[in-house]
Amino acid sequence: MRHARQAVIVAARRTLVAPRGGALAQFQADELAAPVFQALLKEAGVNADRIEQVVMGNALYGGGNPARLAALRAGLPVSTPAMTVDTQCCSGLDAILHAARLIESGSVDCVIAGGMESFSRSPIRAHRPRTSDEDLIPYNRPPFAPPPFNDPELAEAAFQLARKRGYTRSLQAAYSVESHKKAQTRSAKDIMARELVSLPGINLASDPFTRSLSLKTALRARVIAGDEEYGVCPATTAVEADAAAAVLILERHRAQALGFQNALTIEDGCTLGHDPGLTPEVPIKAVAALCSRHPDVDPQTANIELMEAYSSQAMAFVDALALDPANVNVCGGALSRGHPIGASGAILVVRLFSLLSDRFAQTANLHAAGIATIAAAGGLATAALFKACRL
């Protein structure tokens, strides 16, 4: 009888997350990812030649194949294929789900997957002239939806959401303050210490953006989108950042044969499209759809890691699904560390691996579940379900 194939995560690591132009500014995206790959292999005791595929998300490089650069830089064999996934903010989580599906299909048994981003070293963007008398036309972001679709700046969309739901600037700031508080707890720091990979010349033990943010300080920040009542400001927006994160995924029976005892199963993934003008709200629909396929999973008790792009977006998610905000991003979210676009979804999974591993060890709860979810410009969102398991 042939056993069903299942993808399981046996190791998960990341770099620290540093704001654009900060501690990691000298590293290219592949230079951030390579040490993460090496740390995964060392922690798991898996030889580099066992890796059959590398799948990494990246959003800002706009060409080339940085996953291949990272694989070669990490010392993986030249025969190891690598592919880069670009679904913007969803890239890192989508890369992990793609790797899981490769394993489930029988194509491979051992994959490194995740995401990497360097805002600091990303290419300068410009449109090529159509005629010889035109100049280059620089741009900060590409279009995410063509006319006649609405394609707002994401900060503007976050403001519109705040106004629609009545989230004042004070309420948004309070949510951001709480994210920073969660990230400064002893348990959060202990978990982070296990996640982080050291980088050459970097002597930081935690994400440097996290700070003791007061409500008064948050409210002093200038409004960048909207009005004085419901507007979005830097304190309620995840800062642009640099980071890399990845997981080692094995086929379950292969993991057992290699001696692993505990792991995280990749149970399911859901990617949805919606109105491009309502991007901040799409994770609500993605998680609802995911949970409808798994009635045994209660989002009220599951560990949920949500990408906090904006306070209003995170607040709407919590309210729409009737969640306890204390149970969402229990160790702080992107508002307190930053948003390294292509890496952010993978960072959520690394955090779930840490949280569920701890929960499993403490309670031996075979039903310990976690959900990671993230939105992407253009009206997209991905949600994925994970469970702690004994192999």
Residues tagged active-site: 89, 339
267, 388 Cβ separation under 8 angstroms: no
How far apart (Å, rounded) are the C-alpha atoms in residues 391 and 379? 37
How far apart (Å, rounded) are the C-alpha atoms in residues 53 and 81? 5
Which stretches of the chain are assigned E, i.e. beta strand? 7-14, 18-19, 53-57, 82-85, 110-118, 126-127, 137-138, 241-251, 262-273, 303-306, 369-376, 380-390
How far apart (Å, rounded) are the C-alpha atoms in residues 282 and 259? 40
Question: Coil, helix or strand for 205?
Answer: coil
How far apart (Å, rounded) are the C-alpha atoms in residues 284 and 383? 9
Query: Measured at the alpha carbon of residue 345, what is the angle toward residues 343 and 348, in degrees to the nearest 5?
Result: 110
Q: What is the dihedral of CA 246, 19, 208, 346, to 10 degrees?
A: -20
In sequence order, what are the beta bridge partners of 87?
A: 89
CA atoms within 13 A on the CB side of 94: 22
Query: Measured at the alpha carbon of residue 339, what is the angle toward residues 201 and 18, in degrees to the nearest 5?
Result: 20
